[in-house]
């Protein structure tokens, strides 16, 4: 894929209304509004460190709780990554990254294989970060892997503070994605199958 790698995804359900505009080869600019301050913070960090340009807006049923918003934002973002990658020709495909935040250290390994699989072990200690349930932050990574059609391993190696744990994980994801989506010198699909 030689042109701009970008996508627009709209996901509308009875629970949420999500719009994502994504440019893979961006500058790390983000405009994010989900109604969940902590999620906005994590998505802004993701865009910044992955060097994605991201415009993302979600109106969700926050009167119920944060689950549908977090899940549908991840599903729409993953779908945007998938669409922007096209046939995944001439990308690095595999990547890993470590990111510290003070005492916390996270590792993310990604394979843009076309086959969704997720292992997420962050081990939050509390139930919430701001207005976001910590279990839903782990669910974010799983949902992203499904529609992004990637194998994704997220492991928190150490850390005491839940905010630091979460932010280290999102930043490690950003760095791994930045490397995995990078254009490679080749022109073929990076698979012995010939397709991803």
Q: Is 185 part of a structural domain of the chain?
A: no
Instruction: Please report the pLDDT score of residue 3 as a whole number.
Output: 81
Instruction: Please report the pLDDT score of residue 19 as a whole number.
Output: 98
Instruction: Please report the pLDDT score of residue 191 as a whole number.
Output: 76
Instruction: Please report the pLDDT score of residue 194 as a whole number.
Output: 74
Q: Is 88 part of a structural domain of the chain?
A: yes
Q: Identify the band that residue 110 occupies on the pLDDT scale cut at 50, 70 and 90.
A: very high
* Whether pTM exceeds 0.85: yes
Instruction: Please report the pLDDT score of residue 189 as a whole number.
Output: 73
Q: Exposed, middle or buried by CB within 10 Å (0-12, 13-18, 19+), for 29?
A: middle
CA distance 69 to 39: 10
CA distance 169 to 56: 20
- CATH number of the domain residue 87 falls in: 3.30.230.40
Q: Is 194 part of a structural domain of the chain?
A: no
How high is the mean pLDDT of the chain? 96
Residue 187, pLDDT above cutoff 80? no
Percent of all residues in the chain with a pLDDT value above 90, rounded to a whole number: 92
Q: Is 195 part of a structural domain of the chain?
A: no
Q: For 11-26, what is the mean pLDDT?
A: 98
Q: Hey, which bits of the chain come out as E strands? A: 6-12, 16-23, 30-33, 53-60, 94-101, 104-111, 117-121, 128-129, 132-133, 151-158
Residue 1, pLDDT above cutoff 70? no
Q: Is 186 part of a structural domain of the chain?
A: no
Q: Which domain range does residue 131 map to?
A: 6-180
Q: Is 48 part of a structural domain of the chain?
A: yes
Instruction: Please report the pLDDT score of residue 180 as a whole number.
Output: 98
CA distance 195 to 89: 9
How many domains are contained in the chain? 1
Instruction: Please report the pLDDT score of residue 196 as a whole number.
Output: 73
Q: Identify the band that residue 2 occupies on the pLDDT scale cut at 50, 70 and 90.
A: low
Q: Is 1 part of a structural domain of the chain?
A: no
Q: Identify the band that residue 188 occupies on the pLDDT scale cut at 50, 70 and 90.
A: confident
Instruction: Please report the pLDDT score of residue 195 as a whole number.
Output: 76
């Amino acid at each position: 894929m030689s042109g701009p790698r970008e996508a627009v995804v709209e996901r509308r359900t009875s629970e949420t209304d999500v719009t994502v505009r994504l440019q893979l080869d961006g500058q790390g600019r983000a405009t994010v509004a989900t109604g969940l301050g902590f999620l906005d913070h994590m998505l802004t960090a993701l865009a910044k460190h992955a060097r994605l340009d991201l415009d993302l807006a979600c109106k969700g049923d926050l009167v119920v709780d944060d689950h549908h918003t977090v899940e549908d934002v991840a599903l729409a973002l993953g779908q945007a990554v998938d669409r922007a990658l096209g046939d995944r020709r001439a990308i690095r495909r595999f990547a890993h990254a470590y990111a510290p935040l003070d005492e916390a250290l996270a590792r993310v390994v990604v394979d843009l294989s076309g086959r969704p699989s997720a292992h997420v072990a962050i081990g939050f200690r509390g139930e919430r970060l701001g207005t976001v349930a910590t279990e839903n932050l782990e669910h974010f990574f799983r949902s992203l892997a499904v529609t992004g059609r990637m194998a994704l391993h997220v492991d928190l190696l150490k850390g005491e503070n839940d905010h630091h744990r979460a932010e280290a994980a999102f930043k490690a994801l950003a760095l791994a994605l930045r490397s995995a989506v990078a254009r490679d010198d080749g022109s073929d699909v990076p698979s012995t199958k010939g397709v991803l």
